[in-house]
Amino acid sequence: MDHAAIAAKTDERILENFITENQRFILVCAAKAARRFVTKSDDEWSTALLAFHEAVGAYDAGKGSFRSFASLIIRRRVTDYLRGEMRHSGEIPVEPYTMTGELPDESPSPLQVRVREQVTKMAEETVQIGSAAEEIGAMQQILGAYGFSFFDLSDSSPKAEKTRRQCALAIRALIGEPALLERMQTSKTLPIRELALRSGVSKKLLERHRKYIIAAAEILTGDFPVLGDYLKPIRKAVT
């Protein structure tokens, strides 16, 4: 771990992998400092993640094991954060450097820039993952009324490009006909005969990919921005 921390100072790829591999360690350190269970949706996680990056930037072999050094930095920063939360709004917060006697640089170092970029990237990914999980949960309930699960879609999704184009035609036709879409949503069945006439897609293909077409139509006409992002070509064609 010590060698990886030193290498992560100057290699962005190693830094990213190092963070990913040590997320559990960061969470444990944050939980110990906060004296409660901490998840990635908590502010303590972000504080601990920044502290871990800080530890990477400040570490050298003369400071002992990186694990102990990082644990100390995380504990201090999370504790500082929790104390800051308890202060009254009129009080002036004490910056970390006042405790160490070291003045901060006027401009961030290249490592600090990479650290901040990585923190932002991970925060965005965490938010997106959480949003996707919420959307999948909501879609599970919708598709359950049709008699299948969101996770059944992997088997019914079109694999060949030609088949994907045919499914896209069917989905566009379905969304483009409000009465047909309403019929599907009310009866909880895909109106295959009528859809075949409207789209020109064969009944056999519609039946084979029925679940995919239903799910895509529900996603594109509902409030599912993350899942809808996977259907961009179809969305562009119907908006």
Asked if residue 34 lies in contact with residue 28, where contact means CB atoms within 8 angstroms, the answer is no
Cα 156 to the center of its chain, rounded Å = 25
Residue 41 CA to residue 126 CA, distance in Å, equals: 8
Which among 151, 139, 143 is positioned nearest to 226, based on CA atoms?
A: 139
**8-61 residue pLDDT tens:** 877 778 888 888 888 888 988 888 888 887 787 778 888 888 888 888 888 887
Task: Output phi, psi for 64, to 5 deg.
Answer: 85, -155
Q: Determine the pLDDT at residue 230.
A: 74
Residue 88 has pLDDT above 60, yes or no: no
Q: In terms of Cα–Cα distance, which of 100, 54, 101, 58 is closest to 78?
A: 54
The answer, yes or no, to whether residue 233 has pLDDT greater than 70, is no
Kindly report, residue by residue over 129-182, the tens digit of the pLDDT.
445 667 777 888 899 999 998 878 877 888 888 999 999 999 999 999 999 999
Of 94 and 51, which is predicted with more confidence? 51
The whole-angstrom separation of Cα 93 and Cα 89 is 9
The whole-angstrom distance between residue 217's C-alpha and the CA centroid of its chain comes to 23
Is the model's pLDDT at 118 over the cut of 70?
Answer: no
State the Cα–Cα distance between residues 180 and 172, nearest whole angstrom. Answer: 11
- Residue 215's contacts (CB-CB under 8 Å, 6 or more residues apart) are 139, 143, 150, 153
pLDDT digits (tens, 9 = 90+) for 216-232: 999 998 888 878 877 77
Can you give the pLDDT at residue 99? Answer: 40
Phi, psi of 157 (to 5 degrees): -70, 140
pTM: 0.48
